[in-house]
Structures are given as structure tokens and as C-alpha cells.
């Protein structure tokens, strides 16, 4: 499967200059532009866990928590700009408003994770369909920017939106039983069913002419197949078609690949020791350097909500010789 790799990798970037609009290049070099998240107006996801039951519909973590997050993100944007990176930001939207479709009612969540909803392949921006009802309308925060790139020559694909009706979700999925989730994960079964295609862009990561993806809680096999057919149409700079490869990990709750398997350089990948890749020997045989990142320093007492300690390995490569990492 990986004989074609031979240490070819890519950094997903948005380039924005007068002569080059959007370009995801298969060659490793410095980053020209990036879409950076917003923490402002982040909403608490409505769910049955105690925290979400108590705080659903309120600012995530409280007003002061949001203020600190906004200040941190603004500072990161300044650092990136000093490194010569053009920074774009999503629109500010009130995510606490109720939304309704013919199939569900929900509140929004945030525009804090552009990587989840957008990916670039060549000169095309691909807008993922998502799988959470609270994120159904999240694309609205990015549409003004996408339309701007489209007017300047970029291609733009919006994947068909799932209805997100009850049929998309396994109503009997064992949310609280880790052993049962491990068993189901080994069978390739997760909370999302195969009723219709769904996926988050963050379950995909590209290396040259190869794109790796995982079946997860938010990305189903129908979504993977949709992307496989779509990617097969691309003829990129390497003068070959893109191929989609499915990888899997020892993880009862997979959701987004970057904190599990993060390609950070040419033939260089960070591999989470707590969630080992079942196909890792194929990468090693292809000549890749597989590095286990340092253990996270965040204490066990720290509330994580919808994230994990291993976000520490989801680093940002600014240039081949410069990386943005979490302090600690």
C-alpha cells in the first residue's frame, strides 16, 4: 500500500498572494497562509453528561474562560504574522441560537477548529459535511472567506450534507462502557452508522499523492468512499492521481487523526504511543521515520471535556525548521 510514498509528504496550507490563490503543494516548504480559529462565542454542547446538562447553551467554560482563550489565540496569530504567515479568521457567530431542520433541532458549537471542516487539495477547498448536529451550520463562519478565494480562482467543493436524522446514529451505542467500545472499534463499528456519508476533514491527512484517513466516531465508511472517489479525480503536481488509504488505531473513541498520527515532515510522522497504528510496519518498510512524541504534561485533574491530553502532539509546522508547539 505504501510503496508509492518513498518519503513524500505535504503540509496543508492556504496560499494567498496576488499570483497564487489557493495551493496545497506536495513539496515541503514554508507556510504562506493559515486559517486560524476563534474562541469567541463558543457554545457549550448540549449532552447528557453532568457538565453539559448543567451548562448547555451557555458560553463554553464561562465568560472569563472565553476571554482568556480569545487573548491566547490573538497572541498566536501575532506570532504567526511575525513569522510571515498571512492569517485569516472565521466570522463571529452567535452559536447559542437554536437551529432547526426537518430532521433535528440543536444549538451551535463554535468556529474554533477550521481543520475539522476544511481541507485543501491542490487549488481546491473541500468543505466537509460533518457529523454532529451542533456543527451542521458551522460552515457559515467560513463562507465569506471561501467565497473570496473562489472569486480569486480557487475551486470549491461542498460535500453533500447529511440529514443527520436519527438513522445516522446508533441509538444503542455504549457511550459509557469502554470495554464494549473497544470491542466495537475492532469490528469497525462506532456511534455513526452507514445510513449516509459523513466525515470531518480532520480525519484525513495527506502525504504527497497519498491521503490517509480513519473510520471514526464522526467519519463513516460511506464518507470515506465518497472521498476516495473524489480524490481519484485529482491529477496533482506529481502527475498522478491521489489515493486514499484507510489506517486504524488501538482507540475505542477515534475522532480526528492529528492527535494520533501526525505527519510533520518529509517521511516523518508522530505516532501516539497510547494509540498505536495497526499498519505502522508498512510505513517503516517504506522508509519513514516514526517518532513517539513526549508524554503530555497536563495533570489528570485537568478538565478535558471534548478533547484529550494528546492534543500536545497536534503541532503546527510553520517551516521545515520551525514548529509551533504547546508550552510545557
158, part of any domain? yes
Average pLDDT taken over every residue of the chain: 85
Three-state DSSP at 140 gives: helix
pLDDT in tens, 87-143: 999 999 998 888 899 999 998 988 989 999 999 998 899 999 999 999 999 999 999
Please give the Cα distance from 265 to 323 (Å, whole number).
11
72 falls within a domain: yes
Number of domains in the chain: 1
The residue assigned the cell 433541532 is: 105
Is residue 110 assigned to a domain?
yes
The beta strands (E) that lie in the chain are given as 33-35, 86-88, 98-100, 105-107, 118-121, 124-127, 155-158, 204-207, 210-213, 243-246, 261-265, 268-271, 289-291, 316-319, 322-324
Question: Where residue 109 sits, what CATH number does that domain have?
Answer: 3.75.10.10
pTM over 0.95? The answer is no
Closest CA to 123 of 201, 41, 23: 23
pLDDT digits (tens, 9 = 90+) for 264-307: 999 999 999 999 999 999 999 999 999 999 999 988 887 776 78
pLDDT for 300 equals 81
Can you tell me the distance from the alpha carbon of 129 to that of 195, in angstroms, rounded to the nearest whole number? 14
Here the cell at position 171 is 441509538
pLDDT digits (tens, 9 = 90+) for 128-164: 999 999 999 999 999 999 999 999 999 999 999 999 9
In terms of residue numbers, what domain contains 211? Answer: 33-324
Question: Is residue 286 within 8 Å of residue 3, measured between CB atoms?
Answer: yes
pLDDT at 63: 76
Rounded to whole angstroms, how far apart are CA atoms 315 and 325?
Answer: 5
Average pLDDT on 3-18 reads: 38
* Domain membership flag for residue 24: no
CA distance 173 to 200: 20
Q: Express each pLDDT in 39-87 by its tens digit.
A: 555 555 555 456 666 766 666 667 787 888 889 999 999 999 999 999 9
pLDDT at 87: 94
pLDDT of res. 261: 98
Cβ-based neighbours of 159, under 8 Å, separated by 6 or more? 126, 127, 128, 129, 197, 199, 223, 226, 227, 230
Note whether residue 17 is domain-resident: no
| 7, part of any domain | no
Instruction: Report helix, strand or coil for 212.
Output: strand
Angle at 66 between CA 63 and CA 310, to 5 degrees: 135
Q: Is 65 part of a structural domain of the chain? A: yes
Calculate mean pLDDT across residues 195-223.
96
Q: Is residue 315 part of a domain?
A: yes
Amino acid at each position: 500500500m505504501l510503496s508509492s510514498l518513498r518519503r513524500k509528504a505535504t503540509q496543508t496550507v492556504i496560499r494567498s498572494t496576488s499570483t497564487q490563490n489557493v495551493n496545497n503543494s506536495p513539496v515541503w516548504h514554508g507556510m504562506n497562509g493559515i486559517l486560524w480559529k476563534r474562541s469567541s462565542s463558543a457554545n457549550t454542547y448540549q449532552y447528557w453528561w453532568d457538565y453539559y446538562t448543567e451548562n448547555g447553551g451557555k458560553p463554553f467554560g464561562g465568560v472569563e474562560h472565553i476571554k482568556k482563550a480569545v487573548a491566547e489565540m490573538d497572541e498566536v496569530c501575532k506570532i504567526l504574522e511575525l513569522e510571515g504567515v498571512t492569517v485569516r479568521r472565521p466570522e463571529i457567530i452567535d452559536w447559542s441560537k437554536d437551529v432547526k431542520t426537518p430532521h433535528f433541532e440543536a444549538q451551535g458549537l463554535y468556529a474554533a477548529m477550521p481543520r475539522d471542516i476544511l481541507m485543501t487539495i491542490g487549488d481546491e477547498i473541500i468543505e466537509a459535511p460533518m457529523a454532529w448536529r451542533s456543527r451542521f451550520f458551522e460552515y457559515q463562519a467560513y463562507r465569506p472567506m471561501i467565497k473570496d478565494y473562489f472569486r480569486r480562482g480557487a475551486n470549491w467543493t461542498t460535500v453533500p450534507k447529511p440529514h443527520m436524522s436519527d438513522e445516522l446514529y446508533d441509538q444503542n451505542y455504549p457511550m459509557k462502557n469502554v470495554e464494549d467500545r473497544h470491542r466495537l472499534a475492532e469490528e469497525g463499528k462506532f456511534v455513526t452508522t452507514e445510513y449516509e456519508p459523513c466525515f470531518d476533514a480532520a480525519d484525513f491527512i495527506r502525504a504527497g499523492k497519498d491521503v490517509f484517513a480513519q473510520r471514526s466516531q464522526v467519519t463513516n465508511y460511506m464518507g470515506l468512499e465518497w472521498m476516495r472517489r473524489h480524490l481519484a479525480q485529482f491529477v496533482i503536481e506529481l502527475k498522478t492521481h491521489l489515493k486514499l488509504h484507510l489506517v486504524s488505531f488501538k482507540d475505542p473513541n477515534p475522532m480526528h487523526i492529528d492527535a494520533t498520527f501526525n505527519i510533520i515532515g518529509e517521511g516523518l510522522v508522530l505516532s501516539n504511543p497510547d494509540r498505536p497504528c495497526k499498519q505502522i510496519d508498512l510505513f517503516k518498510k517504506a522508509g519513514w521515520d516514526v517518532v513517539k512524541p513526549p508524554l503530555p504534561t497536563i495533570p489528570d485533574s485537568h478538565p478535558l471535556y471534548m478533547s484529550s491530553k494528546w492534543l500536545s502532539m497536534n503541532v503546527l509546522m510553520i517551516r521545515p525548521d520551525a514548529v509551533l508547539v504547546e508550552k510545557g
